[in-house]
Amino acid sequence: MAQPHILIVSYPAQGHINSSLQLANKLIKIGVEVTFATSHKLFCPAGW
């Protein structure tokens, strides 16, 4: 059987990313392949 593969897309804010990364790590530990995606827009200074 193929290994499960999950895509996690997180809102680009620290609280959302940290929680999503914790979930991703738990899934990886039980054998799930995880791809993590987010946007960088919120982290750029105003005016970029």
From 6, 12, 16, 43, the catalytic residue: 16
CA distances from 21 to 1, 5, 27 (A): 26, 15, 10
Reported for 19-23, long-range contacts at CB under 8 A and 24+ positions apart, including other chains, are none
Q: Is 40 labeled as catalytic in the residue annotation?
A: no
Catalytic sites, residue numbers: 16
